[in-house]
């Protein structure tokens, strides 16, 4: 018996058996956890969107989401309209859908659109879908758009809320693997709050975006028309990633904002 177990065939059969057992177990866990993962993703996106338009439980100096229990009701209360703008490879708007039209065609909510996937499609020359959420709070209208980019180590993303003049009213940023205490600070409130009131358009009305600028001459961020915010210390590449995703992604919404003008 001992001699049989030392044969190569026994080792191979044992390895195959273990792979099948572990693979089956992982497949079962992935399948059973999928509804929970999907629900968590849904709630997280609602919280992100609401945070960007100022619906949050922020404390002094800290960024705090409203709870997952409150998020669905708050999302229904504050988000009055969900739009999906489809643009071609040149950024030309070729279709605009309401939430109901989009759900009827794709059987999913606009806020679940995979922004990374859409950017990949655009690089291949295919049309890209741009979600836009229209919210109302304290008598003001907010237009919230998702953005996605690359930091130093991995993906970074966020939501930016604007008024009809493309002036930023709030922002939320997050990351997958930026350096703690450095690039990871893009999700700290003091950095995100710097964007409030910043203009995305130049004084002449052309889209300019916002640059996370090292050596910015306005460290207290008092000048809201310079299209700049102060950079994070030791996080130049992450800051450049924030700059790029704001400029590249929000520029695509300019044609829509032009339709808001009388």
pTM: 0.85
Question: How confident is the model at residue 222, as a pLDDT?
Answer: 86
Q: How far apart are the first and last CA of the chain?
A: 88
Question: How confident is the model at residue 76, as a pLDDT?
Answer: 95
Distance separating alpha carbons of residues 216 and 226, to the nearest angstrom: 10
Question: How confident is the model at residue 36, as a pLDDT?
Answer: 61
The number of C-alpha atoms within 13 Å of 143 and in the hemisphere containing its C-beta is 18
Domain residue ranges in the chain: 51-258
Q: Sheet holding 128-137: strands in order across?
A: 93-98, 79-87, 128-137, 140-150, 155-162, 168-175
Taking only the tens of pLDDT, the chain with its 262 residues reads 445 555 667 777 777 777 777 767 766 665 664 556 678 888 999 999 999 999 999 988 889 999 999 999 999 999 999 999 999 988 888 899 999 999 999 999 999 999 999 999 999 999 999 999 999 999 999 999 999 999 999 999 999 999 999 999 999 999 999 999 999 999 999 999 999 999 999 999 999 999 999 887 787 888 999 999 999 999 999 999 999 999 999 999 999 999 998 7
User: What's the Rg (C-alpha) of the chain?
Assistant: 23
Distance separating alpha carbons of residues 171 and 157, to the nearest angstrom: 11
Distance separating alpha carbons of residues 194 and 171, to the nearest angstrom: 9
Distance separating alpha carbons of residues 179 and 234, to the nearest angstrom: 10
């Amino acid at each position: 018996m001992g001699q049989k177990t030392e044969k190569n065939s026994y080792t191979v059969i044992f390895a195959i058996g273990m792979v099948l057992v572990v693979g089956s177990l992982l497949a079962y866990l992935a399948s059973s956890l999928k509804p929970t993962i999907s629900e968590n993703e849904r709630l997280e996106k609602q919280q992100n969107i609401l945070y960007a338009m100022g619906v949050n439980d922020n404390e002094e100096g800290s960024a705090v989401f409203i709870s997952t229990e409150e998020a669905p009701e708050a999302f229904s209360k504050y988000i009055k309209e969900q739009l999906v703008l489809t643009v071609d490879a040149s950024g030309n708007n070729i279709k605009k859908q309401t939430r109901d039209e989009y759900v009827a065609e794709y059987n999913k909510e606009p806020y679940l659109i995979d922004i990374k996937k859409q950017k990949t499609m655009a690089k291949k020359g295919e049309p890209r879908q741009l979600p836009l959420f229209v919210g109302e709070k304290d008598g003001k209208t907010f237009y919230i758009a998702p953005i996605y980019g690359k930091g130093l180590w991995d993906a970074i993303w966020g939501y930016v809320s604007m008024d009809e003049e493309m002036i930023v009213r709030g922002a939320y940023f997050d990351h997958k693997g930026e350096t703690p205490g450095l690039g990871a600070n893009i999700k700290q409130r003091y950095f995100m709050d710097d964007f409030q009131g910043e203009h995305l358009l130049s004084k002449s009305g052309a889209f300019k975006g916002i640059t996370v600028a090292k050596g910015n001459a306005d460290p207290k961020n008092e000048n809201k028309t310079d299209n700049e915010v102060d950079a994070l210390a030791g996080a130049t590449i992450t800051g450049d990633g924030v700059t790029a995703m704001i400029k590249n992604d929000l520029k695509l919404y300019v044609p829509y904002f032009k339709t808001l003008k009388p």
